[in-house]
């Protein structure tokens, strides 16, 4: 039962992502840039700690 619920939730999340990507591509691109920008900021933070 739990695996069935997880599968349904995963399908719903994937459907939302696809819907969001096709209906608002500019916003989706900005979200991806922000997501990867967070990793860049973390990298700069740890680099500054190491120096």
- Whether residue 44 is contained in a domain is answered as yes
Average pLDDT over residues 25-40: 89
- Whether residue 41 is contained in a domain is answered as yes
- Whether residue 17 is contained in a domain is answered as no
Please check whether residue 50 is in contact with residue 42, taking contact to mean a CB–CB distance below 8 angstroms: no
Look up residue 51 and give its DSSP letter.
-
| Coil vs helix vs strand at 37 | helix
Average pLDDT over residues 3-20: 93
Q: Calculate what percentage of the chain has a pLDDT beyond 70.
A: 100
What's the pTM value of the predicted model, to 2 decimals?
0.54
Average pLDDT over residues 10-29: 90
Domain that holds residue 50: 24-51
> How far apart (Å, rounded) are the C-alpha atoms in residues 4 and 11?
11
> How far apart (Å, rounded) are the C-alpha atoms in residues 23 and 32?
15
Total number of domains in the chain: 1
């Amino acid at each position: 039962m739990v695996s069935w619920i997880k599968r349904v939730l995963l399908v719903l999340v994937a459907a939302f992502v696809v819907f969001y990507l096709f209906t608002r591509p500019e916003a989706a691109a900005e979200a991806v840039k922000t997501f990867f920008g967070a990793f860049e900021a973390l990298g700069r933070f740890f680099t500054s700690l190491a120096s």
